[in-house]
């Protein structure tokens, strides 16, 4: 401890392959039985964040978990719904964030979100404390959202609000540069095409609101994160280049500064990952930071076909948060 040496995750035989475990939930998983209430949070820069609430009972629980999705996801993705259901079952209120522009309505500013943008997460935490009055908060993030969680906890350090008690992240590209370059490989072309299709659509939507500030010439030929982040993400958010963005937004710089119990679950067969995404040294140096590397799991997969319908990541998050933030 905190490097988790033993793991009991054993997916079905056909899913003991990173690509299969990654794609199965997107293609086949349905999570039912949840109801949501939406709340809009205004941000200091004149924009907004939409969050979706799910509560296990009529009254407010004592604990709340903030869930943060991955790139171009939203609160209704199956991994978000599965984690919501698992935590509701354990008595947690769940506040599922939709990053700017991901709630079904374009955000108001030219910029939206990126892997290292943690001020919106802080705005949600402030809302939970100042308006809703929660005394115990946990942060749970997936992929890009997981990078935000880890970076936020580390950069806050000793100044973190004491009501934020724990963090859990799954499938995080701890080093964005190596991960982005890995996703540009031919073996990951299906994922890259999927992400680029959504990101190009977002640029075209933004063009309608900011016709003089967005150049979409050649947009159809933007096929990699290096191209997209260099042309759009970096200048929109004040970075010098794609490489500057990747370096400064990566959570790898902040892991040693985390001061609350935090758990990272990264599968060894995740097709998005490179060796830099398994921060063994940080887990060895920081007693508050735990790292588990199961042999299987894919990217935001961790499929487990049990009677409860809970995936391995949801079981691990539930158990960890119950121990870190007891009711």
- Active-site residues, by number, are 143, 270, 299
Other Cβ atoms less than 10 A from the Cβ of 180: the count is: 23
Distances (CA, A) of 272 to 41, 50, 80, 82, 228: 32, 28, 19, 22, 17
Helices (H), the chain: 18-28, 78-89, 119-130, 144-156, 176-183, 189-209, 225-228, 234-236, 242-249, 280-285, 312-324
Q: Say whether 125 sits in a helix, a strand or coil.
A: helix
What does DSSP say about strands 93-98 and 136-142: parallel, antiparallel, or unpaired? unpaired
Cis peptide before 2 (omega within 30 of 0): yes
- Here the tokens at position 187 are 């073996």
Burial pattern 240-257, b for ≥16 Cβ within 10 A else e, equals eebbebbbbbbbbbbbbb
Q: Say whether 244 sits in a helix, a strand or coil.
A: helix
Interatomic CA distance for residues 320 and 281, integer angstroms: 21
Residues 6 or more apart whose CB falls under 8 angstroms from that of 219 comprise 200, 203, 204
Rounded to the nearest 10°, the torsion over CA 264, 9, 143, 43 is -70
Interatomic CA distance for residues 80 and 141, integer angstroms: 9
């Amino acid at each position: 401890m905190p490097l988790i040496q033993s793991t009991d995750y054993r997916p079905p035989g056909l899913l003991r392959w990173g690509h299969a475990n990654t794609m199965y939930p997107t293609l086949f998983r349905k999570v039912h039985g949840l109801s949501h209430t939406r709340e809009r949070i205004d941000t200091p820069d004149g924009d907004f964040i939409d969050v979706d609430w799910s509560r296990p009972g009529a009254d407010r629980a004592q604990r709340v978990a903030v869930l943060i999705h991955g790139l171009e996801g939203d609160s209704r993705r199956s991994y978000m719904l599965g984690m919501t259901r698992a935590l509701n079952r354990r008595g947690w209120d769940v506040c599922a964030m939709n990053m700017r522009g991901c709630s079904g309505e374009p955000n108001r500013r030219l910029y939206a979100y990126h892997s290292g943008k943690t001020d919106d997460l802080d705005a949600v935490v402030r809302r939970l404390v100042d308006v809703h009055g929660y005394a115990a908060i946990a942060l749970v993030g997936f992929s890009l959202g997981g990078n935000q969680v880890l970076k936020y906890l580390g950069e806050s350090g000793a100044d973190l609000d004491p009501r934020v008690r724990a963090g859990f992240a799954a499938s995080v590209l701890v080093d964005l540069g190596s991960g982005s370059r890995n996703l540009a490989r031919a073996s990951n072309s299906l994922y890259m095409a999927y992400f680029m299709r959504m990101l190009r659509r977002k640029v075209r939507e933004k063009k309608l609101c900011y016709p003089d500030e967005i150049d979409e010439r050649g947009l159809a030929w933007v096929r990699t994160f290096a191209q997209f982040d260099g042309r759009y993400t970096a200048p929109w958010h004040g970075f010098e280049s794609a490489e500057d963005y990747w370096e400064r937004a990566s959570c790898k710089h902040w892991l040693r500064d985390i001061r609350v119990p935090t758990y990272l679950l990264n599968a060894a067969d995740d097709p998005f990952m490179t060796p830099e995404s398994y921060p063994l040294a940080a887990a060895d140096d920081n007693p508050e930071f735990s790292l588990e590397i199961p042999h299987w799991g894919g990217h935001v997969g961790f499929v487990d076909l049990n009677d409860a319908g809970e995936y391995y990541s949801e079981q691990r998050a539930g158990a960890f948060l119950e121990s870190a933030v007891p009711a």
